[in-house]
Structure 1
Amino acid sequence: MIVRALRIFGIYKLYEKWLEREISREEIPQHLAVILDGNRRWARSNGVPTSQAYRFGADKVEELLRWCLKIGIKIVTLYVLSVENILRRPREELEEIYRLLVERAEKFLRDELVWRERVRFRVIGRLDYLPDYVAEALTRLERETVHHDRLHLNIAVAYGGRAEIVDAVVKICNKVASGEVLPSQIDEELIEENLYTNGLPKPDPDLVIRTSGEERISNFLLWQIAYSELVFLDVYWPSFRRIDLLRAIRTYQQRHRRFGG
């Protein structure tokens, strides 16, 4: 058993090294978005509690951060918890997610890597849907890292793509009502300025990865991914490996982006 495991590990490392050579450092996606899907199915397939799957998934986020820093990705947006999840998931499951969010927010604030590599955290979504203690922990993480600039890590929590667009429209309507904006001035640029992702160096993702084998976007960044490349991977999020990230980047680099043309 040990010999077989070592042999598999050796093949894995060789494949990882080969993928690294295959990827062009000149065409690394600047903005990577990931739909973290498959935690509950991973739990069922491994015969463990859902809470353990979420904990493994949270560990994987920390690994992904390190991989992205090494590869040179500048912006990462993670779909962690949707508005629909909050409205439909059992209370016990949500409480576990909330505990993990607070725990990891506090851990990131103590993580030497965050400060050495100047990782900036940003929370996007309707924070008023969250318990106060969760919103406060996430807001503090955002506030404490606001001056960092090497890698932007956006956490989509209590997020919905339609809700984001509605919130942008409401902001614009208020500006029209106050006389700050004329109706004739409303265009795509103005809408983008009022989305949650406003202020990012590159708001629109180059590459969107969804784990779990599902092939849909589930109300994620509906405006921003208009011209993104989508890669769907048949692996549950807690089992996501560095080779899966490298394979997705290789697929991205093999495509010819047309931006609607």
Structure 2
Amino acid sequence: MKHTYNIEGMTCTSCSAAVEKSLKKVAGIDEVSVDLENKQATVEMKQHVALSELRETLPSKYSISQVEETNNFNNTGATSTTMMSNNVEESKWQQLKPLFLILGYIAAATILLNYSRDNWNGAMLDFMGLFFIVFSFFKILDLQGFPESFKMYDPLAKIFPAYGWIYPFIETALGLMFLMRFEIDIALIITLVILGITTVGVTKTLLDKKSIQCACLGTALKLPMTQATFIENAIMIVMAVVMLFIL
């Protein structure tokens, strides 16, 4: 049997991971899926587990209540569900606005730095350098929370948690290498490796239809994991491949 619960008190992926871990400890529970964005947990049980027992196993900062079941054959309910789905979709794009704004500013800065040059090959290096510097800045803002969010989908960070701690500084180093034109070939290869690993994790998350927070801009901005994250990584990977052939 499967039940959905409202979970109050979750503010980040560390919270959702803590809720998931706590609920999985309860006897009779097979699987737990936590939706941080909608503040809900879907629980699959072998046998009925009382709500009071779930409350006892959760840390005191979280509260849990069961979601009321709706009649799917009721026209009013169907309309309500459709409206809710549209609102969630609109909210998701609203949450992604900071990502698009930042990418737009980076693109504009790249154009301003290169508009008077005859050779625009360096423009891609400038874009990649600014990309890594800006994105690493947001990650470094919360060095405590970023590793927890990052390991939710990055395969290497799941195996080696320390990788999540040093990843923002790898991005900073790559940004400086691109902007200073220092050891470009090495920087491009490292870019392909780290973004390739992350993209594998992003792709799996999207295919599994998991609702988690994207850590591409750290934890300061609550960005949902969407196709935009995959496209963002794919663009950087393509640019790195192109530059390897050009240089």
TM-score (norm 2): 0.22
Q: Which has the higher contact order (CA 8 A, sep 6+)?
A: 1
Compare CA radii of gyration and give the structure with the larger one: 2
Higher helix share: 2
